[in-house]
Amino acid sequence: MARQADIAAEIERLRGGINHHNYSYHSLGAPEISDAEFDALFRALKALEAEHPELVSEDSPTQRVGSTPLTSHSQVTHELPMLSLDNAFDEQDVVDFEKRITTRLKTSESIEFACEPKIDGVAVSLMYEDGKLVRGATRGDGTTGEDITQNVRTIESIPLRLRGDDYPSRLEVRGEVYFPRSAFNRMNALAESKGERTFANPRNAAAGSLRQLDARQTAERKLSMFCYSVGLVEGSQLPGRHSEIISRLKTWGLRTNPLIEVRTGAEGCSSFFEGILNHRESLDYDIDGVVFKVDRMDLQAELGVLTRTPRWAIAHKFPPEEGISTLREVEFQVGRTGAITPVARVEPVKVGGVTISNVTLHNMDEVERLNLMVGDSVVIHRAGDVIPKVVSVLVNKRPENARKIVLPTACPACRSDIVREEVIAKCINGRRCRGQRKEAIRHFASRLAMDIEGLGEKLVEQLVEASLIETPADLFGLTKEQLVELERMGARSADNLLAALENSKETTFARFIYSLGIEEVGESTAKSLADHFRELEPLRNSTIDDLQSISDIGPIVAEKIVRYLQDEDNDQLIEALVAGGIHWEVEAERELDQVLEGQTWVLTGTLSSLTRNEAKARLQSLGAKIAGSVSAKTTCVVAGDAAGSKLTKAQSLGVSVMTEDELLQLLVKHNA
């Protein structure tokens, strides 16, 4: 009988061999053994581990797929935000991008850029501790994502343990999970042969696969991943160039794109772009452009980040795809604020890999601008994930029986009167309108709001039509008995929804404000309100003047917020939501030195690092008063690009003038 030590050694040998061949196949693209030989190694390891379960470890290749499905995905807060990229749409945009960089760096030398294909997949974060994969998460909103550890473990190109021994003690790797075209086509062909639903495109299929609660279903999809950067790094120093970091990731067993190159200047970037564009169709994965990143990490640090986008990187998107279709009909839909929107129903047409049958027309002014009629041949434009739109009408192909598009006189959802507010047509019935109720609840449950998993548009419609809910607060009073009576809602689905509702009660103040659906209050404004008021009661008691003191809130938005908060129905809704258990942690207020108290400052010209409102708010947080004109009483003028008469007057009066860089240094110094 073999000794325990010999068995443990054989298990480690098999694991090492399997990991090596996975690396050769996925990362190097150079398999050393046949599939049958690989399968034999895997079966041998599985058999030994079955006989000796005490020797099974979490990072064993046999442990990629968990056996117990999750009830929901938990939230993950990224220790470093996952940023998004600005876009370039033509060669001049890339030239301007490099010019902004050289101007900021005060150099005339050409910049070296790491160039790589932009994978059309799902951005994820992988956390390794002491070389072991401990967490996988989606990008989410850049700050908070979903824990998808079980699912990323099923992806064979993602190592459960890093190779070598020179990796950092903690390493966050970022990349794009995608559905290879070949695997996607095989899956759709199989589904079609069984009479099952097929997926529209690889990106949507990849996103859906990563959000499966049963990792065994994710494993069947054969997803893959390219790593494109690192986030958090602790316990080691990485190389000084992005391209060198990518090479280092590859030595640790992580899969990187073999098409990455370093090119010099905008001209080199454009040449790389053309080369990738010409070979786009030969790839086994979808790409929607090319990403250019300043290669030197010290220059990246010097350039910094503007809000959520780095100044040192840009995505050069491929030309948008267009298709021609026929407008069959126009229907009118009511939104959560009562806005009546015309929606074009067109003959299905494939644009950018997606079949389009519905196209938003925004409003009646857009219909008139396009000179659009039912029956027209129309050009439909779609770029990346942008909602498709009608860009022009082929008037010369207009049929004789083409019909004019007429705004209805009554709301399509509740038959109440419609009124015009500037370019927007609105239903006057408010929350009594069933259509507005549905949209308000759908918005409340959406990802950037309360993020209630499983509560989609169709289920919201069912709940409203069954008179089970009228307001978002009613969601938290639903019972399993009520839910299982709904069509296609089994006991397990009901349990999952109730668990998701319970999980959603722990949120942030900003998400709660956004979830209320206050007109003109988007994600950014909700965050500003949360940062300013910090607690609910001060917000509820705020005045228009209070609100206008916040950087990005003007008189119109302030009036709409106050009108919402003073409405009796809305007040009762907020009370009911809080009483239903929705809560959040109150962040500690930052104590800032009022070093500019009593001073009057003026902002002029264009600021590249922050908006005028952001600069105003941060100066006000240090005690400054912001004025719109320069006088002898002005303390300081901040002069951005193209500063005009205000700068001239300041100079003539001997008023102190500060550059944008000097302003940033002041704000950083005082933590504003």
Q: What is the CATH number of the domain that holds 54?
A: 1.10.287.610
Separation in Å, CA 560 to CA 86, 136, 518, 564, 617? 31, 40, 8, 6, 21
Residue with tokens 């699912």: 151
List pLDDT tens digits, range 105-124: 999 999 999 999 999 999 99
Q: Does 524 share its domain with 491?
A: no
Q: What percent of the chain has pLDDT over 90?
A: 51
Binning pLDDT at 50, 70 and 90, where does residue 1 land? Answer: very low
Nearest by Cα to 48 from 100, 99, 8: 8
Q: Does 44 share its domain with 130?
A: no
Q: Does 281 share its domain with 369?
A: no
Here the CATH number for the domain that contains residue 658 is 3.40.50.10190
Give the span between the Cα atoms of 200 and 197, in whole angstroms.
Answer: 10
Of 584, 610, 637, which one is at a domain's C-terminal end? 584
| Pairing state between β 86-88 and 313-317 | parallel
Here the CATH number for the domain that contains residue 349 is 2.40.50.140
**Which ranges of 304-456 would DSSP assign to H, the alpha helix?**
364-370, 434-445
389 within domain boundaries: yes
76 within domain boundaries: no
Q: Does 389 share its domain with 311?
A: no
Weakest-pLDDT range from 146-155, 184-193, 361-370: 184-193
Binning pLDDT at 50, 70 and 90, where does residue 443 land? Answer: very high
- In total, how many domains does the chain have? 6
If you average pLDDT over residues 630-656, what whole number do you get? 83
227 within domain boundaries: yes
Nearest by Cα to 346 from 333, 362, 359, 336: 359
591 within domain boundaries: no
If you average pLDDT over residues 558-571, what whole number do you get? 93
List pLDDT tens digits, range 162-189: 998 899 999 999 999 999 999 998 888 8
Binning pLDDT at 50, 70 and 90, where does residue 621 land? Answer: confident
Which residue did the predictor score with more confidence, 112 or 598?
112
Structural domain of residue 643, as residue ranges? 600-669
- What is residue 130's predicted lDDT score, i.e. its pLDDT? 94
Is residue 335 within 8 Å of 381, Cβ to Cβ?
no
- What is residue 442's predicted lDDT score, i.e. its pLDDT? 94
If you average pLDDT over residues 567-587, what whole number do you get? 92
433-455 burial code (b ≥16 CB/10 A, e <16): bbbbbbbbbbbbbbebbbbbbeb
Is residue 638 within 8 Å of 602, Cβ to Cβ?
yes
List pLDDT tens digits, range 312-369: 999 998 876 788 999 999 999 998 889 999 999 999 998 866 788 999 898 899 899 9
- What is residue 667's predicted lDDT score, i.e. its pLDDT? 81
- What is residue 472's predicted lDDT score, i.e. its pLDDT? 96
Q: Does 133 share its domain with 232?
A: yes
Nearest by Cα to 499 from 72, 68, 69: 72
243 within domain boundaries: yes
Q: Does 513 share its domain with 657?
A: no
Q: Which residues are registered as beta bridge partners of 508?
A: none
Here the CATH number for the domain that contains residue 495 is 1.10.150.20
559 within domain boundaries: yes
* Full-model pTM: 0.56
Of 252, 285, 317, which one is at a domain's C-terminal end? 317
Of 426, 456, 490, which one is at a domain's C-terminal end? 426
For the cut 80, the answer to whether the pLDDT of residue 33 exceeds it is: no
Binning pLDDT at 50, 70 and 90, where does residue 127 land? Answer: very high
If you average pLDDT over residues 8-24, what whole number do you get? 77
Q: Does 384 share its domain with 489?
A: no
Catalytic residue positions, numbered:
118
For the cut 90, the answer to whether the pLDDT of residue 37 exceeds it is: no
Q: What percent of the chain has pLDDT over 70?
A: 92
- What is residue 308's predicted lDDT score, i.e. its pLDDT? 73
Give the span between the Cα atoms of 353 and 368, in whole angstroms.
Answer: 29
Beta strands in 389-540 (DSSP E): 389-393, 403-404, 418-421, 424-427, 506-507
- What is residue 60's predicted lDDT score, i.e. its pLDDT? 76
CB pairs under 8 A, 24+ apart, for 329-335? 329/374, 330/361, 330/367, 330/374, 330/405, 331/412, 332/407, 332/408, 332/412, 333/412, 333/435, 334/411, 334/412, 334/413, 334/414, 334/427, 334/433, 334/435, 334/436, 334/439, 335/435, 335/436, 335/439
Q: Does 203 share its domain with 122?
A: yes
Give the span between the Cα atoms of 16 and 396, in whole angstroms.
Answer: 68
244 within domain boundaries: yes
Q: Does 137 share its domain with 202?
A: yes
81 within domain boundaries: no
Weakest-pLDDT range from 439-453, 567-581, 647-661: 647-661
Q: Does 413 share its domain with 441?
A: no
Q: Does 544 share its domain with 623?
A: no
Weakest-pLDDT range from 142-156, 265-279, 534-548, 606-620: 606-620
Q: Does 341 share its domain with 454?
A: no
- What is residue 30's predicted lDDT score, i.e. its pLDDT? 67
